[in-house]
Amino acid sequence: MQWLTLISTVVGAAIATGSAMLLDRQRGKRERLDREAQARRILYGDYLATLSEARHACGNMPRDPDIAPSTPRTTAREAFGPCIGLRCQMTISGPDRVGKPRRSRSAACVTSATA
């Protein structure tokens, strides 16, 4: 009769330990996914804000009639420069479909980069 009590205690302890480990693993996975989603949300917000600022800077150029011919190119480079670093961060931390360029765009980028 004592062996039966000991075996039941060991089996109960194993079930309790296993379920605690499973729940802890699920909670850890959920917390990790929440942290990753929050980091992506912040990164996407920063990228959109930077794009908006760049668009605003470039949108004001046509309103100036006394602008030199080289100024729009310089202004565009300066305005969209910060976007490049954020775009690279999005490629690294975003899902696969974010980093995957379109076929037509990727061919144009590769051609212009090698020329």
Instruction: Point out the least confidently predicted range of 76-80, 89-93, 106-110.
Output: 106-110
Contacts of 71 (CB under 8 A, 6+ apart): 61
The tokens of 106 are what? 């990727």
What percentage of the chain reaches a pLDDT higher than 70?
82
Contacts of 43 (CB under 8 A, 6+ apart): 86, 89, 90, 93, 94
Predicted confidence (pLDDT) per residue in 63-89, tens digit: 777 777 777 778 888 888 888 888 888
pLDDT band at 112 (very low <50, low <70, confident <90, very high): very low
SS3 content of the chain, % helix, strand, coil (to 5): 85, 0, 15
Q: Enter the pTM of the model.
A: 0.60
